[in-house]
Every structure is written in structure tokens, then in C-alpha cells.
Amino acid sequence: MTLSTQPYKGTRDFYPEELAKRNYIFNTWRKVLIASGFVEYDCSILESAEMYLAKSGEELGSKQLYAFEDKGERKIALRPEMTPSLARMVAGKFRELKFPLRWFSIPNCFRYERPQKGRTREFWQLNADIIGLEAGEADLEILLLLGKTFLEFGATKEMFSIRYGHRGLLDEWINKNNLNDKKEAVYALLDNWRKLVGDKKLAFATESGLTENEFKIVFQMVENPNQIDTTSFAEIALIQKTLPSILPEVEFVFDPTIVRGIAYYTGLVFEAFDHNPENNRAMFGGGRYDNLLELFNQKSPAVGVGVGDLTWHEFLVGWNLYPENLSETTKVGIMALNRNSLTEIFGKTIPKLISENKLYEVNYEYERSENKRYDALKKRGCGEVIKI
């Protein structure tokens, strides 16, 4: 029998060239996060299935979940997202942990869906969360973190923007405009705003139960977001006052169409947008979810973001932001001039057995300390290293 050499549907093989790209993204994310005071955590990709099924009614809890039974009849699942695991870990050591936490992880997750451009069944996702701080500086901090992450990859202002809204502000506006009993319809309309082109906005609105007049009220608000009084939540006031001067290299925009679905988030919500005309879309998002630990009967305020590896990869490709040489090794040539030098060179590089008076091309980490080592070899007349 000959087996197929294809990977499982919706998953990817990372040959060294592709893994170098993934490592570049992950390591750059890590660099920004660690520099911002975040620490990394991880856990198993296998979790109890009930953790996802508990949130019934959601897509993740049912048809997209890779759930099965182990040989001991435990119901287990491959995580479709990291947040429930994060909540489990934080709740599990709630009394020992020193809050606030600034935690990040870059887990792989599985969702059973039709693979298509920019979507695979297995994906990696940067999760960065601040846990234990109420709305305020932490919300600002997450937005800054995102902006700086883009900058670290060499992105410039014209390439992307970070757009944010606030559920509390939107609820206030809905209340002021007597749309309280149409709240779900307004949220749904705003959530789909960008996808609905031209007439489709009104059609969607009426289907959702809004009158034409109510639609107009929403439409005018989106056209002129200034009519939303943004002063009643301190974190938004803080963001608007502080962000432009702290990180002028990044475009932060208040945008009332950012609502991030109907459930889950409790305050600030945000999304990052790729400005590439061929790739113009929301790359990822996040926000405040003070209900994080609910499943585990604990309470703690939290704000966080999840960034997928694929959309980030496409952003870098679209704007040509990958560095030219991602290989972690540098080619050097080693010329062994006499027998004495063989073991000395071998002691560090072991590319293959080296014969005298022959130039070997090898992959080798070209560090300053190594330069010294080879300088010494050279001085003693027993070897030569040439950077290729």
C-alpha cells in the first residue's frame, strides 16, 4: 500500500522555507509583547469538550468543533479558540496569581469548516490579554500594543488602520434615539455594515425589523459618528486624548460600525483593517470582556485580542513586508588547511568530515564569538573561514 503524501485537509505542511516565515511572525510578535511586559503561557490543544459545548447555541459549540471520545469515554475536543483555556487556567490559580496579568500565547486551534483562501481548519492565533484591570488604561494599552506590533513589522500609516467602537456608547445612543426594542437589529446591521453594499443595507435593515426611518437614523449616525457623545466612558476619552500623541505613526479611528457580533464583549471593541485594495478587510479584532471567568464562577475584568497567522501572513505578503533573507543560518565556507585544524573545526560545526585543502560550504550560525574562534584558527595557520 502506498499512502498519500498530502497533509490532512485544511492543514498545512511547513517546509523549512514556510516555517521560517511563520517563525518570523511569531518571534516578532513575541518580541513586541515581551517588551511590553507580557509573559507567555500555553496548555494542551486537547480540552474537555464540555468547555465549548457549555456555550450552547454558538457555532463553535457545535458544528465547527472537533469533538470526540477518548478510549476512556471522556468527551474531549481540539480547542477551536484559546480564550476558554485561558479562563480555565486563570480560574484554576485565581488565588495564587498576582493581578493584573499580562499574558500571551500563540496556540494552534482547529475548526471544522470549508477550507478557502485565508481560512484553514488548523490555524495559529496570537492571544494577548490583560486580566484584572477595569476599563481604562488597559484598553489604551491593548490598542497601543496592536499599533506597535504593526510598526515592528515595518508597516506604515497608509497600510492599515485600527478602528474601535464601544458597546456602552452604542447602547447610550440607541437609548437616546428610542431604539431600545430594536437593539439586536441595530447591532446586526452595524456588524454587517461593510459587507452590505448600496441598497443591501436598507434591505438587511428592514429584514431585521427596522423601519425605513429607523434605518435612516442609523445611517446618519454612521455617516457622522460625531453625534455620538464619546465622553461618557473614561477609557474612550483617554484613548481619544492620548493615542494620537503617543503613537502618531498609527491611524486609530473611532468607528461605530465596529460591534464584533452580538454577544461576549462588554465595552471597548476594535478591529484592524488592511488598506491593501486587493485585501481590504478586517484582519482581526478584540475588546473588553469582563465576563471572561463566568464559566468558572469567578469574576475579573479583562481586555484582549486574537490575531490569526494567515491574515497576518497575507498582510505581510500584500505589502511586501517580509525581510529578504529569513533563514536563521548563514552560509560560510570552511577551508581546513591541515590535519590539526580538523577536530577544532569539527568541535563546533560538524557539517561533514573535512579533508585538507578543500573548501566546504556549510550552514553555520555566524556569530561574533565564532568570528573570534576562526580568527584564532587563522592566526595559527590551520584554517580559514570565508563568508559566502
Kindly tell me which residue out of 95, 117, 352, 368 binds its own copies, with binding defined by CB under 8 A. Answer: 352
Q: Are 79 and 64 in contact (CB under 8 A)?
A: no
Query: What's the angle, vertex CA 272, arms to CA 268 and CA 277, rounded to 5?
Result: 150
CB contact at 8 A, 286 and 163: no
Query: Of 91, 196, 202, 382, which lies in the binding site for its own copies, with binding defined by CB under 8 A?
Result: 91
DSSP designation for 291: T
- Cβ 282 to its own copies shortest distance, Å: 24
All three cell numbers of 197: 453594499
Q: Is 346 in the site for its own copies (CB under 8 A)?
A: yes
The whole-angstrom distance between residue 381's C-alpha and the CA centroid of its chain comes to 52
Residues 57-86 within binding reach of its own copies (CB under 8 A):
63, 66, 68-72, 74, 76, 78
Binding mask 128-167 for its own copies (x = CB under 8 A): ---------xx-xx--xx--x-------------------
Q: Binding its own copies by CB under 8 A: which of 21, 24, 43, 306?
A: 43
Q: Per-residue x/- mask for its own copies, residues 288 to 327, rule CB under 8 A?
A: -------xxx-----------------------------x
Query: Which is closer to its own copies, CB of 88 or CB of 378?
Result: 88
In angstroms, what is the minimal distance from the CB of 31 to its own copies? 8
Q: Does 261 bind its own copies (CB under 8 A)?
A: no
258's grid cell: 465596529
| d(C-alpha 80, C-alpha 41), whole Å | 17
Question: Which region, judged by CB under 8 A, interacts with its own copies, from 48-56, 168-176, 218-226, 310-318?
Answer: 48-56
Q: Is 285 helix (H, G, I), strand (E, B) or coil?
A: strand
Task: Compare residues 337 and 342 and give the one whose CB is closer to its own copies.
Answer: 342
C-alpha cell at 59: 457555532
Mark out the alpha helices in 211-265 (DSSP H runs): 212-223, 234-246
Which of 57, 117, 226, 353 is the binder for its own copies (CB under 8 A)?
Answer: 353
For 7, the 3-state DSSP assignment is: coil
Selected binder of its own copies within 57, 198, 277, 347 (CB under 8 A): 347
By DSSP bridging, strand 39-40 and strand 101-105 are parallel
Helices 339-349 and 368-379, axial angle in degrees (round to 10): 170
The residues, ordered by sequence, that sit 6+ positions from 3 with a Cβ below 8 Å of its Cβ are none
Residue 195 or 372 with smaller CB distance to its own copies = 372
Total Cβ atoms within 10 A of residue 88: 16
CB closer to its own copies out of 238 and 337: 238
What's the rounded Cα separation, in Å, for the pair 45 and 47? Answer: 6
Q: Among residues 222 and 295, whose Cβ is nearest to its own copies?
A: 295
Determine which residue in the list 246, 282, 321, 337 makes contact with its own copies, applying CB under 8 A: 246
CA-CA distance, 75 to 50, in Å (whole number)? 7
Candidate ranges 38-46, 209-217, 225-233, 306-314; the one touching its own copies (CB under 8 A): 38-46
What's the half-sphere exposure (Cβ side, CA atoms, 13 Å) at 55? Answer: 20
- Residue 184 near its own copies by CB under 8 A: no
Whichever of 85 and 266 has its CB closer to its own copies, that residue is 85
Toward its own copies, which CB reaches closer, 31 or 195?
A: 31
C-beta closer to its own copies: residue 2 or 325: 2
240 sits near its own copies (criterion: CB under 8 A): no
Choose between 311 and 349: whose C-beta lies nearer to its own copies: 349
Write down the least CB distance from residue 277 to its own copies, Å: 30
The grid coordinates of residue 83 equal: 480564550
Site membership for its own copies, residue 282 (CB under 8 A): no
H-state helical runs in 66-114: 83-92
Site size toward its own copies (CB under 8 A) is: 90
AA identity, residue 31: K
If the CB atoms of residues 126 and 186 are measured against its own copies, the closer one turns out to be 126
Indicate the DSSP class of residue 279. Answer: G
Listed in sequence order, the residues at least 6 apart from 361 whose beta carbon sits closer than 8 Å to its beta carbon are: 331, 332, 333, 388
Mark the segment that binds its own copies (CB under 8 A) among 44-52, 217-225, 301-309, 314-322.
44-52
